[in-house]
């Protein structure tokens, strides 16, 4: 049996002590934190707060016992990925904003690439491969986070066309909902690494999978819906001031 990067699935009694103290990850997070603090010195606005919250969410995903629990439960793996693409990524985009809008076609391509990666890494075979090889695991994590940061920067960039931004947000909501529904209503367990690891937590593999699908179906979409509403409200306020 191969051991995932975050470690073997912990017993419930051992969960609170199952911190990931990989020195490389700790060093990278420390470098990102202090490097960001140094580069943001003197910046006005909440950029430093966004940066700190982003680093905290990455610490939660990769260092806290949540990392180990994601080896046991697919539903927690979904939470882990949502921390990357729906929390850390928009926070990093706010801390390090895009100065100019992407071309229309470029923004659409970024959205397509991100959606393809989300579907790819939640397909059973690539997901199982990522949990059996550390290099593939980091390819999964970094591609999800990286594509999400670039996309969020494009969506939040000043001058980004409102209708295209709204359509991309709604498109992501639709595809997340579809993926969540497919996972929720699958008649059999799909994710081999979790066929047995869920049992100590009182869940069958299928119940854990259904919970994961529901998380992807509803909570995962809230940041995109909120961002779409904020973009629309900002546009309407700008039109009122111009009138």
Lookup: tokens for 151:
């996309």
- In a 10 Å sphere around its CB, with 0-12 CB exposed, 13-18 middle and 19+ buried, how is residue 235 labelled? middle
What is the 8-class DSSP label of residue 187?
S
Lookup: tokens for 84:
């990357």
Helix axes 162-184, 205-217, angle to 10 degrees: 160
Residue ranges making up the domain that contains 45: 12-242
Q: Is 3 a domain residue?
A: no
Q: Is 1 a domain residue?
A: no
How many other C-beta atoms lie within 10 A of the C-beta of residue 135? 9
Q: Is 7 a domain residue?
A: no
Q: Is 100 a domain residue?
A: yes
Mean pLDDT of all residues in 102-110: 86
List pLDDT tens digits, range 28-53. 999 999 999 999 987 777 999 999 99
Mean pLDDT of the chain: 93
Provide the number of structural domains found in the chain. Answer: 1
Residue pair 175/115 in contact (Cβ under 8 Å)? The answer is yes
pLDDT at 241 over 80: no
Phi, psi of 123 (to 5 degrees): -80, 145
List pLDDT tens digits, range 82-101. 999 999 999 999 999 988 87
**27 Cβ contact partners less than 8 Å away, ≥ 6 residues apart:** none
Rounded CA-CA distance 140/51 in Å is 22
Q: Is 4 a domain residue?
A: no
Classify residue 20 as left (phi > 0), alpha (psi -120 to 50) or beta.
Answer: beta
């Amino acid at each position: 049996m191969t051991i995932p990067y975050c470690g073997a699935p912990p017993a419930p009694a051992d969960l609170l002590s199952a911190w990931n103290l990989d020195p490389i990850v700790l060093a990278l997070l420390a470098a990102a934190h202090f490097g960001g603090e140094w580069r943001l010195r003197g910046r006005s606005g909440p950029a430093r707060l966004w940066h700190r919250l982003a680093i905290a969410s990455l610490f939660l995903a990769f260092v806290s016992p949540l990392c180990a629990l994601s080896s046991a439960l697919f539903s927690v793996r979904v939470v882990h990925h949502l921390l990357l693409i729906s929390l850390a990524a928009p926070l990093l985009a706010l801390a390090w904003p895009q100065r100019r809008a992407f071309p229309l076609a470029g923004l659409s391509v970024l959205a397509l690439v991100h959606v393809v990666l989300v579907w790819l890494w939640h397909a059973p075979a690539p997901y199982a491969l990522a949990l059996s090889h550390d290099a593939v695991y980091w390819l999964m994590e970094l591609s999800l986070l990286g594509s999400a940061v670039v996309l969020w920067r494009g969506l939040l960039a000043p001058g980004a066309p409102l209708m295209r931004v709204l359509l991309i947000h709604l498109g992501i909501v639709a595809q997340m909902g579809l993926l969540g529904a497919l996972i929720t209503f699958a008649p059999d367990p799909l994710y081999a690494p979790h066929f047995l690891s869920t049992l100590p937590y009182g869940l069958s593999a299928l119940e854990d999978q259904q919970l994961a699908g529901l998380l992807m179906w509803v909570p995962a979409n809230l940041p995109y819906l909120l961002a779409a509403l904020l973009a629309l409200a900002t546009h309407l306020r700008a039109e009122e001031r111009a009138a």
